[in-house]
Structure 1
Amino acid sequence: MPLATTRRTGLVDQVIEQLRLLVTSGEWPVGSRIPAEPELVDALGVGRNTVREAVRALAHAGLLEVRQGDGTFVRATSELSGAVRRLCSSELRDVLETRRALEVQAARLAALRRTDEELAALADTLRRRDEALTARDWDSMVRVDTDFHAQLVACSHNPVLIEVYAGFTEAVSASVATGVDMDNAAPCVRHVSHDALLNAVRDRDPEQAAREAGGFLDEQLDRLGMSGEA
């Protein structure tokens, strides 16, 4: 996605929007280093101060991270996601507790509201997740496991819950990855099965779905010394 020369009104806001679009569209993926300041100045046709102010604003919003002497990197794809990533990096327990609050209610609603098509999609995703786990393909396992939980939330048909969880996805992925021993396949990863959760959603049993959704997160919280409430 090429950068376009900006108009001479509202320059900082225009630059912020162009840079934000490059991030949210995936043109600049999370973890990548964005072009250096002189390149941005030339591409945008604005002054250094305008570029610096725009980058500073996006860094404050959590989308970018300025590393002194190393450059500026993409930190997250949205302001909410950026805030969550800061939380995730500092406190796994907080992330797991938040996941529990969101996913337990999502599972309860999914059991009541899911469609047959959504149930089939959940089953397919869970099958691919288990295949990746068996193959010790950890990157795929983390990605597909995260997709499974996002799909489950989507089955709630609650637009606010879905939107909040979408901003939380990167933290979910990070918390899933913390349970994966890339070299030895840690037992805590091996025995985590979502079959019972899927079955409860299939059987339209909201309370069992809620218990299953909270159960494996409670186990992780127990290992951190603070379990959730049933």
Structure 2
Amino acid sequence: MPPSVEFPSAPPAPPRGQPAVPPRGHRVRQTTEQLRARILGGEWPVGGRIPTEPQLVAALGVGRNTVREAVRALVHAGVLECRQGSGTYVVSTDELAPVVARRLGDDRMTEVIEVRRAFEVEAARLAALRRTPEDLAALDGALAQREAAWHGGRVDAFVEADAALHTAVVAAAHNAMLAELYASVGTALRSTVAQAMGGALTPERYVDHTRLVEAIRAGDPGRAALEAGAFLEPAERA
């Protein structure tokens, strides 16, 4: 008679009325899709910062490790971007961002400038036509932060503040596709600003963006477009 074979017993069923706990991989995928759905739904717009990890844990009802892995998956997909000391931001609603980032590397800065000009000039023109009081308040705040960052003397802080102002201009254009495409070149955008600074914030490198904001406030699309384009001449200013 052949020896009997013992098979491992199935895990015990949860007590009656208590839902089964899904496996870890499933929880991560489910949490990733929840985050993606909130991004696609506009709760966290492109260019905006998502809640902190503890806030996400409380909102989604999952553990820290699950949230961390879900966020990491969306960073890898190019939907989110972690910025040291600042937080995690939405950079795209799809996986276009990493593709664009690979195309627009540091060795193609001339092309990056041309792409920035194409986006930012039209964004400024549209912003002058469509800006709302909330947009103007956001622009004023971003401009003030940019000035403060310049006077603070740290190149990395200024690069972030400058990018935030330009992103606010794009947001004021109220064109979702433009905002998404612009966000996809965010890393390359920061590289052009950092390169233009040359490692130090010196007076001759300063570019005032006050006139750009004022042109948008005045509802003058032609002047706003000219101001936006003036920053992106061959000198590659911020």
TM-score when normalising by structure 1: 0.62
Q: Aligned residue pairs: how many?
A: 168
1:1-230 alignment, distance < 5 Å? 5-6=24-25, 79-86=95-102, 87-182=104-199, 184-190=200-206, 192-221=207-236
Quote the offset at 1:187 in angstroms. 4.7
Instruction: Indicate if the aligned counterparts of 1:179 and 1:188 stay in contact, CA closer than 8 A.
Output: no
Give the drift of 1:188: 5.0
Residue deviations 1:51-106 (CA, integer Å, cap 9, x gap): xxxx9xx99x789xxxxxxxxxxxxx763222232222220011010000000000
SS state at 1:218 partner: coil
Conserved in 1, the CA contact under 8 Å of 2:212 and 2:228? yes
Structure 2 counterpart of 1:51: none
RMSD between aligned residues: 3.3
Identify, as 1 or 2, the structure richer in helix: 1
Shift of 1:179: 1.4
Distance 1:169 1:62, change over 3 A: closer
Larger Rg: 2
4+ residue stretches of structure 1 with deviation over 6 A?
24-27
What SS does the aligned partner of 1:185 have? coil
Query: Given that residues 80 and 168 in structure 1 are in contact (C-alpha distance below 8 angstroms), is that contact kept between their aligned partners in structure 2?
Result: no
CA distance in 1, matches of 2:99, 2:235: 22
SS of the equivalent of 2:143 reads helix
Q: CA deviation at 1:206?
A: 0.1
TM-score, L = length of structure 2: 0.60
- Is the partner of 1:162 in helix, strand or coil? helix
Q: For residues 137-185 of structure 1, give each alpha carbon's deviation from its aligned partner in whole angstroms, at most 9, with x where no partner exists.
A: 2221111110100110010011111111121212111211111233x42
Task: Indicate conservation of the 8 Å contact 1:88/1:94, yes or no.
Answer: no
Tell whether the 8 Å contact from 1:81 to 1:170 is kept in structure 2 after alignment: no
Q: Do the aligned residues in 2 keep the contact of 1:104 with 1:211 (CA within 8 Å)?
A: yes
